[in-house]
Every structure is written in structure tokens, then in C-alpha cells.
Amino acid sequence: MRLTGARHYQEDTKMRLNRLPILLAALSLLLLACGSDGGGARPTVRIGSDNFYESRLMAEIYAQILENDGYTVERTFGLGSRQERAPVFSDGQVDLVPEYVGSGLGYYDVSQITGDGATNRDRLQASIAEFATVLGITPGEDTNAGVVRQDTADELGIDSMSDLAAIQDQLRWGIPPDCVENPLCKGALEQYGITYPPAQLESLAACDVPIAEALNGDAVDFAWLCSTQPAIVQYGFVVLADDLDTQPAENIAPLVRNDFLDKVSDADDFKALLDAASALMTTEELTTLGVAIAVDQREVDEVAKEWLTSKGLLG
């Protein structure tokens, strides 16, 4: 027991010494911030993201905007899928995450989802009002989409999801394994008269690399991808029209924890910073930036910085 006591004491001193430079850095930052903006608390922002490029990109954009304004940012990107990331956020282990307003709302209540982004945003806000705030949405969106190869589209003369029911058995389907209990996947397919599960089925995660490779390599004829997925541009796939509007509006918005906003002295200014970036992010920009990351293999922080600079958001 005595030994442990001694060790504790040692660690305590070590930690105090370690904290000293951090304290100094924090102090000087505070002074700097005071100098430039005339005051205002800028607590450290812990930003999280899902484990795919677009979520990382949006999180990195938020991070750079806030850093540019004098905030310290802790990045914990790649927290997994929504099912894994949402509890991390609601437990308060991160303060800020990018979210798709349709599926994000669906996580809490699928029956409320609509095809309108602003409505989805408001309803998502109502679902999480207890602990978080939904900031402004992007005009751009990224929805799930049925995708086929160009040659399949030409041969069979299809361009919308409604064309598929009649030829269901001729096609080999690439569908995520969690589709069966997802009303936006299985439910949507059934609305189009497609019997689930199709006879020829490969279980591949949606919006992932293997499913896109499988479609390109002719191992499946239909794949459940994301509409801004770089592989669509890269391989010239055809996105089938969702003519029955089964997919919800999936605009992207930052979710911020309320307990964090309370610590920021000028919360409106904080929101305005992020809203300015969201307002400029269109579907085309999402696609272009995605290609830069996933096809041209460029670093997410570099792509984010270039985009922010080109929009004059780092001024």
C-alpha cells in the first residue's frame, strides 16, 4: 500500500509538470484570442465523425473553420457507423459530429422521415433537443441510391428504380446485409415491387469499396451505393432515378452538444461560422471533393483546406 502511495505521488508531480506547458499554451491562446476578438471563451471542441471519407471531410471542414477562429480542436474521427457513433455523441464523449438529417432522424424514429431536408432537420432537432442542437443544413445531399453499370442500363433500357421489378430475376443484386430491417432499404425495394430477398443476392455493405468493385467487375448488376460515391464518377455508373421518392432528404448538418454550446460565450457566432460553410456545400461539390479523396488519393485535411480557401472561409 505504501508503494502505491508513493507511485501516486510521483505520477501527480509528473502530471503537474506535464500540464504546465499546456496551461501556458492555453493562457497564451486566451491572450491571443482576447487580442483579436476582444474576448469570449473558446473551449476545446472534440469533433467526431463516422468512418467514411465524406463524414471525415465534413468533420475536418468544421475543425479547420473553428481552428481558424481560435478554437482548439480534438479530432476523434472514424467512430464507426451511425449505430456506433450516435451513442458516443449522446454519452458526451465528443461535442460535435456531422450528420445526415434523414438517416439521423431515422435512427430515432423512422416513421417521421420525409423527402424534405428542412423538415427532417426540424424533426431531428425535436428528437435530440434534450442534449444537442442541429445547425444549418447543406443544400447538397448524399442519399442511398440504386446504381447499375452503363452497359446494363443500355441493354435493358432502364433508368429508374421502377424499371427493375419486371426484370428482377435477370439481375444479380448487391445489397447490404442490414437491408432486411431497414425500411429505407428493404421497404424502398418493396415499394418498387421488388421481392426481397432477390434470388441472386450478394451481401455487401452499402457505399463501400467491395460493393462498387463488385458492380464494376460484373459480379453484380445492381448495387446499393451512395449518390455522391466517387466510384460512380470513376466507373461511369448510372444512378437509377428514385421515381417514387422512397429515399429521405439527406442534407448534412453539424450536431453540437448543448452542454458544449453553454461553455461558448458567443454561441451565435459559433453557429454562424459553421452555417457559412454548410450553406456553400452543394451535391456537386460533395461529389468533386469525394473524387479528390477517394480516387485521387489526396489527404482529407488538404482537400478540406483547399475548399475552404477557395470559398474564402479561412479569411
Partner 1 sequence: MSKVWQWFLDPVHWQGPGGVPTRVWEHVWISLLSVAAATLVGLPIGLWTGHTGRGGNLAVNLANIGRAIPSYAILVMVLPISLALAPTLGYSPNLGLSFIPTFTAMVLLAIPPILVNAHAGLLAVDRDLIESARGMGMKETQILGRIEVPLALGVIVGGFRTAVLNVIATATIGAIVSFGGLGRFIIDGRLRGIAGIPELIAGAILVTVLAVGVDLLLGGLQKRMTPRGVGIAVNQRAEGAESPAA
Binding site for partner 1 (CB under 8 A): 81-84, 87, 172, 174, 176-178, 181, 202-205, 209-210, 213-214, 216-220
Which lies closer to partner 1 via its Cβ, residue 50 or residue 60? 50
Residue 182 CB, nearest approach to partner 1 (Å): 9
Asked if 231 and 291 touch (Cβ cutoff 8 Å), the reply is no
Which lies closer to partner 1 via its Cβ, residue 67 or residue 218? 218
Residue 220 CB, nearest approach to partner 1 (Å): 8
What's the grid cell of residue 204?
A: 455487401
Bond prior to 197 in cis (omega within 30° of 0): yes
Which stretches of 70-163 are DSSP H helices?
82-90, 101-108, 117-128, 150-156
Which lies closer to partner 1 via its Cβ, residue 146 or residue 174? 174
- Pairing between β-strand 144-148 and β-strand 222-226 as defined by DSSP bridges: antiparallel
Which lies closer to partner 1 via its Cβ, residue 38 or residue 91? 91
Cα–Cα dist 43/79, whole Å: 22
Residue 207 CB, nearest approach to partner 1 (Å): 12
Asked if 147 and 223 touch (Cβ cutoff 8 Å), the reply is yes
Which lies closer to partner 1 via its Cβ, residue 205 or residue 238? 205
Residue 180 CB, nearest approach to partner 1 (Å): 9
Residue 26 CB, nearest approach to partner 1 (Å): 37
Which lies closer to partner 1 via its Cβ, residue 62 or residue 173? 173
In DSSP terms, 175 is beta-bridged to 203
* Buried/exposed 249-261: b ≥16 CB within 10 Å, e otherwise: bbbbbbbbbeebb
Residue 53 CB, nearest approach to partner 1 (Å): 15
The angle that helices 283-294 and 300-310 make with each other, rounded to 10 degrees, is 140
